Structure 1
Amino acid sequence: MQSLTNIRSISYLKSHAAQISEDLEKNGNPYVITQNGEASMVIEHVSQFQEKEALIAALKIIALGEQDRLLGKGITAEESRAQLLATRLTRK
């Protein structure tokens, strides 16, 4: 996990938005923005946000698959291979 070294006030954000944007592009370290002395938001580069969203989506798919497995739904690897082979043979 990244250390949160970029802790700034909301007034700093207002007056240095372009500089923060450039720093995010260059270094990628997110900024924690405070309001009245308490953390209010985190600003990160869009590529970091997209990576996190993709990871969350993958983890959700894995969790759904695990739920199905625990409920006895699904097929074995051998059954899956047989289905794939049968599908390939019928498409030829």
Structure 2
Amino acid sequence: MRLADHVKPISYLKSDAAQIVKDLTASGEPLLITQNGEAKLVVQDVQSFEDTQQTLALLKILALGHQDIEQGKFKGAEEFLSELDDLDRREQIG
């Protein structure tokens, strides 16, 4: 689908809401709404929105992890696995 097919004026949103819901649900593609020729909002189906939010959350976790590595806030694999073994032994005793 062409980009122009994903850009509509606000009057289209007002007059064709039911068709927009049908189209967005089927395609998963967002719709850019303009007002006076200027982009004002993006409309998308719930599944696409949730997928985007999940992707953003994962990217944030990766960025925070990268930041921790840059700041030296991490443990080597051997140290981490040793701590897990210690925790496992304590649980078996207790």
The superposition leaves residues 50-83 of structure 1 with CA deviations (integer Å, 9 ceiling, x where unpaired) of 1111111111111111111111111011111111
Identical aligned residues as a percent: 44
2:80 counterpart SS class: helix
Aligned to 1:11: 11
For normalisation by structure 2, the TM-score amounts to: 0.87
What's the TM-score once normalised by structure 1's chain length? Answer: 0.88
What secondary structure is seen at the aligned counterpart in 2 of 1:52? helix
Gaps of 5+ in 1: none
After TM superposition, what 4+ stretches of structure 1 lie above 2 angstroms from structure 2?
A: 2-5
Unaligned segments of structure 2, at least 5 residues: none
List per-residue Cα deviations over 1:21-54 (Å, max 9, x = no partner).
0111111121111100121111111111111111
Decide whether aligned partners of structure 1 residues 75 and 36 sit closer, same or farther in structure 2, where only a CA change above 3 A counts. Answer: same
CA distance in 2 between counterparts of 1:27 and 1:70 reads: 41
Match of 1:43 in 2: 43
Asked if 1:26 corresponds to 2:3, the answer is no
Structure 1 or 2: more helix by fraction? 2
Equivalent residue pairs, number? 91
- Residues 60 and 3 of structure 1, relative CA distance in 2, 3 Å threshold: farther
